[in-house]
């Protein structure tokens, strides 16, 4: 197996992008990534496209071929990857494995979602849950994650304020990110007193409906310096699965798929959780951000709320979490999120993150969750070969 490096990344602005179509977004991201890699399009051997719900949101399937055509990269093989909100993370993993195996040399992993073209996105998003036993019984993702929040509060004494503080941090970081959907800070009172969604959550505990795309180009590590002076090396790329439905889980206060995927990643990379300088975690709801910092091993189970409250996950804290603003503030166009996380960590490790830069970042991690944890993808990236 060959070592693999990232040589180009991009992300469109995330948000309600009424003047851009599904195909406009992914082509914009792809062109920017190619330019970032100082590479011509004819060097790309294959593409993997993360997309969850093109058929439900914009009525478009056969997305791989569509994007190959409109990016001008046809006839290269272009494959859609779907794993709910983890579609982007898995598309990236497929690209990494394709290069590592020697099957291809230069591969683009992209992710895209156009979510604002429907009146109500809830039914489409609910397709990532167990349709028969959850969605058809009226369970939505806010209510499913709300159950997890209540159980964590019950078992560990986690406070409502601690959970809400994860959203405050996201907006604080997002305010420094020109690509973020929400570029403004919010107060703890704003979160606590917002419109109720599913107890204990208000609207400010929930990631938004977003449009956007992101792209990454990977190649053999031995070739990376042909394209960039600052390649970022992939130390591990892992994936794990769990039950889709919450009622089949052993616990509501942890995601086994996160634990398994991250421990495997640490083992492959030869590092420990304490070695990670910066991480982009999947905070589709505030409780999932809290669960992530525990399940990834950054803090002891049940201590995540205290870590947030004590500022240990600020950009200058023990570990910098979601300097991009995370899903809460950067936005969450489902299929693009996992790729955008990789782009953010790449910028951080290059030292190109401007006002949100984490000083001295050398080792980073991304954590991308599908549904309530039925799929998890974890990537570990390094500035050093």
Active centre residues (catalytic): 85, 332
Helix axes 286-295, 160-174, angle to 10 degrees: 90
Sign of the alpha-carbon dihedral angle for 11, 15, 18, 21: positive
- CA distance to 154, 157, 173, 177, 252, per residue, from 355 (Å): 38, 35, 9, 8, 37
- CA distance to 149, 169, 201, per residue, from 127 (Å): 22, 29, 21
Q: Which residues pair with 3 in a beta bridge?
A: none
What's the chain's Rg over C-alpha atoms?
A: 19
Residue pair 340/14 in contact by the 8 Å Cβ criterion: yes
HSE of 330 in the Cβ direction (CA atoms, 13 Å)? 31
**Measured in Å, how far apart are the chain's first and last C-alpha atoms?**
15
Q: Which residues pair with 85 in a beta bridge?
A: 83
DSSP label at residue 144: H
Q: How many CB atoms are closer than 10 A to CB 19? A: 6
Residue 356, C-beta contacts closer than 8 angstroms, at least 6 positions apart: 173, 176, 177, 315, 323, 324
Q: Which residues pair with 239 in a beta bridge?
A: 377
The DSSP-derived string for 148-188 is HHHHHHHHH---HHHHHHHHHHHHHHHTT-TT-S--S---H
Sign of the alpha-carbon dihedral angle for 81, 87, 89, 90: negative
**Chain mean position to CA 212:** 13
Q: Measured between alpha carbons, how far is 294 from 80 in angstroms, rounded to an integer?
A: 32
The DSSP-derived string for 302-365 is T-HHHHHHTTTTSTTSSSEE-TT-HHHHH---GGGHHHHHHHHHHHHHHT--GGGPPTT--EEE
């Amino acid at each position: 197996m060959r070592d693999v490096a990232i040589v180009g990344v991009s992300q469109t602005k995330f948000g309600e992008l009424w003047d851009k179509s599904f195909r406009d977004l992914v082509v914009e991201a792809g062109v920017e990534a190619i330019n970032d890699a100082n590479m011509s399009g004819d060097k790309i051997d294959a593409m993997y496209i993360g997309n969850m719900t093109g058929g439900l949101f914009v009525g478009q399937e056969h997305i791989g071929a569509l994007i190959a055509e409109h990016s001008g990269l046809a006839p290269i093989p272009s494959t859609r990857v779907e794993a709910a909100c983890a579609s982007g993370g898995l598309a990236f993993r497929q690209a990494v494995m394709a290069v590592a195996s020697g099957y291809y040399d230069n591969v683009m992993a992209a992710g895209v979602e156009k979510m604002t073209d429907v009146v109500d996105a809830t039914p489409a998003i609910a397709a990532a849950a167990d349709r028969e036993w959850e969605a058809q019984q009226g369970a939505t993702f806010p209510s499913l994650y709300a159950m997890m929040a209540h159980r964590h509060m019950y078992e560990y004494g986690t406070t409502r304020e601690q959970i809400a503080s994860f959203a405050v941090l996201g907006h604080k970081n997002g305010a420094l990110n020109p690509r973020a959907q929400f570029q403004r800070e919010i107060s703890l009172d704003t979160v606590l007193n917002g419109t109720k969604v599913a107890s204990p959550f208000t609207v400010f505990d929930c990631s938004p409906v977003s449009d956007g795309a992101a792209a990454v180009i990977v190649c053999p590590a031995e070739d990376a310096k042909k394209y960039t002076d600052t390649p970022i090396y992939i130390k591990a790329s892992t994936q794990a699965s769990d039950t889709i439905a919450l009622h089949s889980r052993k616990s509501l206060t942890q995601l086994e798929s996160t634990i398994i995927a991250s421990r495997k990643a640490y083992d492959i990379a030869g590092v420990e959780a304490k070695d990670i300088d910066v991480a982009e975690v999947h905070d589709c709801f505030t409780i999932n951000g809290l669960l992530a910092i525990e399940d990834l091993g950054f803090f002891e189970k049940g201590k995540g709320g205290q870590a947030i409250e004590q500022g240990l996950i600020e950009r200058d804290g023990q570990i910098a979490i979601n300097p991009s603003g995370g899903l809460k503030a950067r936005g969450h166009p489902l299929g693009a999120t996992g790729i955008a996380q990789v782009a953010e960590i790449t910028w951080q490790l290059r030292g190109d993150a401007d006002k949100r830069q984490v000083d001295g970042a050398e080792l980073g991690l991304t954590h991308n969750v599908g549904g309530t944890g039925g799929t998890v993808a974890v990537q570990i990236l390094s500035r050093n070969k």
